[in-house]
């Protein structure tokens, strides 16, 4: 019997039934690290049992990626598989659902030339744009789940043997993803109801800004005109109700790209495409980052900020209580899917059009006029902790306490 058979089964079932909300007759495109074969296969099984006619799995190989940085010619890093992403976009346009299995080696590209890494990332982001647009506008149902890649497990638990580290990371993924219950699908339905109540409250309040205050942080995040809060399950344009992230604990909306002022310090390290960024400190003026430093990965951060015009402005602000099961594990996952759901966060770059009322019907110019940011990047980093207070600022300028010491008031 496959080790972790029970874990694989629970995760695959929730991925298909809750994460994708897969409709009968829908194709599925899965992207996954090669190490995640057991999970990809289990997901394929559940997808076929739910009536999918075709599941296509595209595997990624960390070792092959590293060989490119070691041996490819200098001009290689302008290249990206545009043809592949155009094909994926075509699949989604014709109705396929999208599932990504996260969990590669967070330190894969540590030690590689950051300028090359940045060029490769930029080329990839540009080629990926057609896919990203379909996903951020919820043309189709999509979800991301995680698999305990051995190199990831050993980054999280550096003092354990590989086998033990994988075991512990599996346990943490299951607990953090609310799968440690007799009926995880029912648990997720209840969790989604709670998130949607929070969303309804914030949408009713119509705050014009959020104020974050704590050690190293005094940040006023203006919210976009006609912003909409979202979180938990959402309905894609094809009618499917999906949970884009397993786990998810956040409620989030679109900041106004020109109305962010003050300074902010990250509260957890950020693992970004093979590099680790620690103790990020940035200052905003009129919505743009005007100063940025980091104790580790400052060069990567500066390159990221130069990606394009929108890379210096915010595309997301999200609230997560410090008591979320992920924060409760006390583990730094070195993976945004988990770490962003352990703490309130902001994201540099692209905004979600679902976070603007009627946003999916608006042109890029109309979205920008409401304050929604646009960029090739979308990078979440954590600014919440048990020491952070958050106020909602009403349209008349009144401050109302939303979070104290990292918890909902
Ligand atoms: Zn988020
Ligand atoms: Zn985000």
DSSP 200-259: HHHHHH--SEEEEEETTEEEEEEEPTTB--B-S-EE-TTS-EE-SBSS---EEEPEEEEE
Supply the DSSP string of 22-66, one letter for each residue.
PPTT--EEEEEEGGGHHHHHHHHHHHHHTT-S-EEEEEE-HHHHH
- Residue 322 CA to ligand 1 centre (angstroms): 15
Q: Which ligand minimizes its atom distance to the CA of 382? A: 1
SS3 label, residue 135: helix
- Residue 380 CA to ligand 1 centre (angstroms): 6
- Residue 378 CA to ligand 2 centre (angstroms): 6
- Residue 72 CA to ligand 1 centre (angstroms): 35
Gyration radius of the chain's alpha carbons = 20
- Residue 221 CA to ligand 1 centre (angstroms): 15
- Residue 83 CA to ligand 2 centre (angstroms): 26
Q: Where are the domains of the chain?
A: 5-176, 206-234+248-408
pLDDT digits (tens, 9 = 90+) for 19-69: 999 999 999 999 999 999 999 999 999 999 999 999 999 999 999 999 999
Residue 173 CB neighbour total at 10 angstroms: 27
SS3 label, residue 352: coil
- Residue 161 CA to ligand 2 centre (angstroms): 33
* Strand 97-102, strand 142-146: pairing: parallel
- Residue 340 CA to ligand 1 centre (angstroms): 6
Q: Which ligand minimizes its atom distance to the CA of 339? A: 1
Query: pLDDT value at position 383?
Result: 95
**In this model, does residue 90 exceed pLDDT 90?**
yes
- Residue 163 CA to ligand 2 centre (angstroms): 31
- Residue 142 CA to ligand 1 centre (angstroms): 15
**pLDDT confidence of 271, banded at 50, 70, 90?**
confident
Residues 341 and 102: their CA atoms lie apart, in Å, by 15
- Residue 354 CA to ligand 1 centre (angstroms): 13
Q: Which is more confidently placed, 22 or 103?
A: 22
Residue % of the chain over a pLDDT of 70: 100
Query: pLDDT value at position 1?
Result: 59
SS3 label, residue 172: helix
- Residue 345 CA to ligand 1 centre (angstroms): 7
Q: Which ligand minimizes its atom distance to the CA of 229? A: 1
Cis status, amide bond into 374, omega within 30 of 0:
no
Determine the average pLDDT of the residues in 154-179: 96
Half-sphere exposure of residue 166: CA atoms within 13 angstroms, side-chain side: 14
- Residue 317 CA to ligand 1 centre (angstroms): 7
pLDDT digits (tens, 9 = 90+) for 300-318: 999 999 999 999 999 999 9
**In this model, does residue 3 exceed pLDDT 80?**
no
- Residue 279 CA to ligand 2 centre (angstroms): 19
Phi, psi of 286 (to 5 degrees): 45, 40
Q: Which ligand minimizes its atom distance to the CA of 341? A: 1
Burial class (CB in 10 A: 0-12, 13-18, 19+), 150: middle
Given a contact cutoff of 8 angstroms between Cβ atoms, the answer to whether 349 and 315 are in contact is yes
Q: Which ligand minimizes its atom distance to the CA of 379? A: 2
Indicate the fold that domain 5-176 takes in CATH. Answer: Thermophilic metalloprotease-like (3.40.1830)
Q: Which ligand minimizes its atom distance to the CA of 351? A: 2
- Residue 252 CA to ligand 1 centre (angstroms): 6
- Residue 380 CA to ligand 2 centre (angstroms): 5
Given a contact cutoff of 8 angstroms between Cβ atoms, the answer to whether 107 and 157 are in contact is no
- Residue 320 CA to ligand 2 centre (angstroms): 12
- Residue 23 CA to ligand 2 centre (angstroms): 26
- Residue 341 CA to ligand 1 centre (angstroms): 7
Burial class (CB in 10 A: 0-12, 13-18, 19+), 28: buried
Query: pLDDT value at position 336?
Result: 82
**pLDDT confidence of 335, banded at 50, 70, 90?**
confident
Q: Which ligand minimizes its atom distance to the CA of 384? A: 1
Query: pLDDT value at position 328?
Result: 87
- Residue 352 CA to ligand 2 centre (angstroms): 9
- Residue 114 CA to ligand 2 centre (angstroms): 23
pLDDT digits (tens, 9 = 90+) for 44-58: 999 999 999 999 999
Q: Which ligand minimizes its atom distance to the CA of 349? A: 2
- In Å, how far are 176, 216, 243, 273 from 180, measured between CA atoms? 9, 36, 18, 29
């Amino acid at each position: 019997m496959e080790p972790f058979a029970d874990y694989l089964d629970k995760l695959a079932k929730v991925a298909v039934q809750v994460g994708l909300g897969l409709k009968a007759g829908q194709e599925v495109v899965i992207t996954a690290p090669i190490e995640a074969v057991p999970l990809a296969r289990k997901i394929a099984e559940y997808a076929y049992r739910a009536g999918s006619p075709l599941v296509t799995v595209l595997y990624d190989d960390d070792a092959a990626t590293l060989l490119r940085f070691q041996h490819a010619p200098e001009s290689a890093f302008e290249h990206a598989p545009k043809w592949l992403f155009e094909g994926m976009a075509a699949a989604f346009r014709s109705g396929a659902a999208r599932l990504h299995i996260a969990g590669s080696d967070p330190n894969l590209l540590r030690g590689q030339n950051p300028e090359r890494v940045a060029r490769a990332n930029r080329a990839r982001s540009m080629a990926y744009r057609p896919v990203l647009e379909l996903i951020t506008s919820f043309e189709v149902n999509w979800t991301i789940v995680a698999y305990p890649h051995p190199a990831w497990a050993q980054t999280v638990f550096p003092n354990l043997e590989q086998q033990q580290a994988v075991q512990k990371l599996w346990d943490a993924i299951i607990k953090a993803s609310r799968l440690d219950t007799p009926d995880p699908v029912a648990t997720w339905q209840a969790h989604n109801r709670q998130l949607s109540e929070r969303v309804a409250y914030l949408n009713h309040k119509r705050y014009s800004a959020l104020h974050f205050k704590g050690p190293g942080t005094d940040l006023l995040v203006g919210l976009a005109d006609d912003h909409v809060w979202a979180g938990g399950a959402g309905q894609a344009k094809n009618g499917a109700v999906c949970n884009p992230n397993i786990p998810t604990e956040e409620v989030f909306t679109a900041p106004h790209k020109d109305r962010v002022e003050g300074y902010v310090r990250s509260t957890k390290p950020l693992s970004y495409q093979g590099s680790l960024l620690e103790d990020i400190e940035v200052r905003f003026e009129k919505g743009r980052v005007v100063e940025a430093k980091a104790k580790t990965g400052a060069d990567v951060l500066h390159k990221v900020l130069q990606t394009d015009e929108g890379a210096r402005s915010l595309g997301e602000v999200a609230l997560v209580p410090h008591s979320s099961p992920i924060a409760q594990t006390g583990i730094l996952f070195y993976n945004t899917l988990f770490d962003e759901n352990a703490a309130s966060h902001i994201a540099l770059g692209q905004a979600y059009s679902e976070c603007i009322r009627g946003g999916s019907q608006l042109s890029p110019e109309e979205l920008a006029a409401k304050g929604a940011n646009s960029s090739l990047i979308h990078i979440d980093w954590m600014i919440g902790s048990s020491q952070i207070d958050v106020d909602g600022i009403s349209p008349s300028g009144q401050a109302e306490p939303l979070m104290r010491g990292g918890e909902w008031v």
